[in-house]
Amino acid sequence: MILKEKFFQLCSPFNQDKMLVEVFWLEIEKKYTGKGRYYHNLTHLENMFSELELVKDRILNFTNISFSVFYHDVIDDASSKLNEEESAEFAMLRLEKLGLNKTDIEEIPKQILATKSHHKSENNDINYLLDADLSILGKDIESYIKYTQQIRKEYSIYPDFLYKPGRKKVLQHFLELESIFKTEYFSEKYEIQARKNIEFEIGQL
C-alpha cells in the first residue's frame, strides 16, 4: 500500500474530513521530499513500514506506532538538536485536530521523542519502532554504504573535520551497547551485520 493510502486509512477511524486529512498528508509529503532529504525521506518511511508489517502481531497499538512513523522525522534540520521535540509537537497539534483520544495524543509524541536517544524502553511497542528506525544498520553492505553516503549529504553543511569525529562518536556509541537492537526479533535479524557495517564505516572515517 502506498504511503498516502496508508495515511488516509490510518486517519479514517478518527476523522471523516477528507480535506483535512489531505492537508495533513500534503504537509508530510512536502516535509519528507524537501531539499536535502537524502535519507530521511519517504523511502525511509516505506522501509520502516515494511519492517513493522512483519511484526504487526507483536505490537499492541499499531495505529499509534504508525502515526509515530509518519511524524518522527517530519522536522529534520541538520543544524538543529531539537528535531525530535519539534516533530513531536508538530504531530501533537495534528493528532488533536484529527480527534484522537487524550491518551494516544500523549503516547505518540513520547514514541517520537524516544527516537532521539534510542534507549531501550519498558514499552515494547517503542522498542519495535526504534528497531525499525535503525534497521538500515543491519542491511547488506551495499545498502549500508548507500545509506552512509545519503547521511553525509544531509550533513553537508559540516566539513569533514567536524563531521567525521561526530559521526565516529555516534557509531562507537552503538558498538558499546550490549545490543543495538532492542527486540529479540530485530536483534536476531540484524545485530551481527549491523556491527560489521558500523566497524567498516569507522574504518573509512
Phi first, then psi: what are they for 118, rounded to 5°? Answer: 55, 40
Q: What whole-number distance in Å separates Cα of residue 56 and Cα of residue 59?
A: 5
pLDDT of 1: 63
Q: What whole-number distance in Å separates Cα of residue 199 and Cα of residue 14?
A: 45
- Any idea which residue has 509518519 for its cell? 70
- Mean pLDDT per 10-residue run, the chain (205 residues)? 94 97 98 97 98 98 98 96 98 98 98 95 98 98 98 97 97 94 98 98 96
Q: Which cell numbers in the block locate residue 179?
A: 545490543
Q: Hey, what domains does the chain have and what are their CATH numbers?
A: 3-204 (1.10.1300.10)
Q: What whole-number distance in Å separates Cα of residue 32 and Cα of residue 167?
A: 22
Residues ≥6 apart with Cβ < 8 Å to 186 = 51, 128, 131, 132, 135, 138
Q: What amino acid occupies position 110? A: K
3-state secondary structure of 183: coil
Burial of 122 (0-12, 13-18, 19+ CB in 10 A): exposed
